[in-house]
Structure 1
Amino acid sequence: MPGPVDAMVVLKPKPGATTASGVSTLFKGYSGELPHPATLNPGPVYAGMKADSLPLICTMNISPDKPLVDSIFGKVSRRISACLADIASWMTTHHLKLNPSKTELLYIPGTPNTHNDLTVSFENILLTPSETARSLGVTLDNELSFSTHVSKLTRSCRFLLCNIRRIRPFLSQEATQVLVQSLVISKLDYCNSLLAGLPLRVIRPLQLIQNAAARLVFNLPKFSHVSPMLHSLHWLPVAARIRYKTLMLAYKAKNGLAPPYMMSMVKSQSVQRTLRTSSLARLETPCLKSHGRQSSRLFSVLAPRWWNDLPLAARTAESIAIFKHRLKTHLFVEFLPEY
């Protein structure tokens, strides 16, 4: 368990419960205050086992001056440091340089409110976990809420719209549309599949940016109704654009057009017998309980669920061009039904 430990569960071998090889396989446990670290070394019990078969607790080099938690983070820290050293070496051979002062460490815990003491040493610089880190233009946070990313993206788009508004009197509607789509809408679409599954309140600032962009194109007041403008511009709302990108990736993964790691995340629904449902081109929906607290936002969970909600004509599209057309039509009907 990473972080400070006040109580824990310790397993001990049950007397007399042994296999043919003499190594105990049945255990009893007790919970309570953290015992002395030296008592957590069950090495003698597993003396006859091979090194690669030993339990993790036997391989941590626990001692009275190095507790269990420090041993875990020490191993992780050393592995990350070695990885950074290898990357730096590779970059040096290719006439590049890894800047330690600009290297960020982002720790994403498996459970909420988990404290950690993870630090990584790299070229005499001690890296400590930060709350956010920027990668390929996307700001990641240690809770994967993307609230910081949405905030920065909103601020950037608002600045661009303000500058375009200054020259709007000198632009035609067509020129304004091209300018807004290339500078603002493209930012909203960049890596937007990472926002799939987030609450609507998180992505609402991005929708407000799109609404402002549509009003700017038509040069209409602030509180003008925006739905007819989006339909006229043929712009899907932000939530629909996120779903569109996710389903495009699902189509590519299902039909062998995506990288192998992505194709492994989706699986066509199989049936034991030839039934009418076997021709519906549906995807298997995995169990949520086996994927942890962020399971509802996983691509392997969201993509099959959204895919199975598509009409049959879209799921059975013969090419990606046909799928794009049918998908966009379906999303317009779902998100802008009155138009």
Structure 2
Amino acid sequence: MDAHNLSSITYADDTQLYIMMKPKDRGNVLARLEACIRDIKSWMAGNKLMLTDNKSDVLHVTSQFTNKLHLNDINVGSSSVTPSACVRALGVIMDDTLTMSNHVNNICRTASFAIRKIGKLRRYLDQDSAEKLVHAYVTSRLDSCIMLV
């Protein structure tokens, strides 16, 4: 990835590539990105690993205060990947302006669902068990992305 002047983050079997670009450099930058993906795919094949082309996502992040620059599809192996408005990365839903509104809405929805389910069971639970369920299914979701703050 260094050879293509890209930044990356790798976690277990998940790799994220990052690249900054100015509108005038779009063609060159996207060509470098696709070349890097080809090299990664080649390395993986040589090491008996597989990159699943159709599981790849592209998120084009821009300021919410500027006009959105249209980004063409990115070639990932045999697939053509269209940039998404939001993607899930390690459990975090990130949108193309980094407002985190989709992620916050998802956490609120899942926490509310858990609270309703626990509420239906509450009369069968002692205080300690109810607290453990709340911490396991509600608090853990609220704290899951605390490192992003």
TM interval, short-chain normalised:
0.7 to 0.9
**Greater fraction strand:** 2
User: Aligned AA for 2:120?
Assistant: R
Residue pairs, 1:87-166, within 5 angstroms: 87-110=40-63, 112-166=66-120
Work out the CA distance in 2 between the residues paired with 1:167 and 1:88.
Answer: 49
Q: Is 1:76 the counterpart of 2:29 in the alignment?
A: yes
Match of 1:178 in 2: 132
Give the 3 Å change call, closer, same or farther, for CA 159–92 of structure 1 in structure 2: farther
Work out the CA distance in 2 between the residues paired with 1:189 and 1:94.
Answer: 37
User: Aligned AA for 1:74?
Assistant: G
Match of 2:18 in 1: none
Relative contact order: is structure 1 or structure 2 higher (C-alpha 8 Å, sep ≥ 6)? 2
Give per-residue Cα distances to partners, 1:166-209, cap 9 Å, x unaligned: 21111011111011112210111012232x3xxxxxxxxxxxxx
Contact 1:139–1:146 (CA under 8 A) maintained in structure 2: yes
Work out the CA distance in 2 between the residues paired with 1:95 and 1:139.
Answer: 30
Deviation at 1:128, TM superposition (A): 1.9
Deviation at 1:123, TM superposition (A): 1.7
Work out the CA distance in 2 between the residues paired with 1:161 and 1:182.
Answer: 11
Give the 3 Å change call, closer, same or farther, for CA 177–118 of structure 1 in structure 2: same
Give the CA RMSD over aligned residues: 1.9
Residue pairs, 1:46-85, within 5 angstroms: 72-85=25-38
TM-score (norm 2): 0.74
Alignment size in residue pairs: 126
The share of aligned pairs that are identical, in percent, is: 33
Contact 2:73–2:83 (CA under 8 A) maintained in structure 1: yes
Give per-residue Cα distances to partners, 1:5-45, cap 9 Å, x unaligned: xxxxxxxxxxxxxxxxxxxxxxxxxxxxxxxxxxxxxxxxx
Deviation at 1:88, TM superposition (A): 2.3
Contact 1:73–1:118 (CA under 8 A) maintained in structure 2: no
TM-score (norm 1): 0.35
Work out the CA distance in 1 between the residues paired with 2:87 and 2:127.
Answer: 38
Give the 3 Å change call, closer, same or farther, for CA 165–90 of structure 1 in structure 2: farther
Contact 2:60–2:71 (CA under 8 A) maintained in structure 1: no
| Residue aligned with 1:126, SS | strand
Q: Which runs of 5 or more structure 2 residues have no equivalent in the other structure?
A: 1-22
In our comparison, the structure showing a higher alpha carbon Rg is 1
Work out the CA distance in 2 between the residues paired with 1:157 and 1:170.
Answer: 20
Work out the CA distance in 2 between the residues paired with 1:161 and 1:94.
Answer: 46
| Residue aligned with 1:105, SS | coil
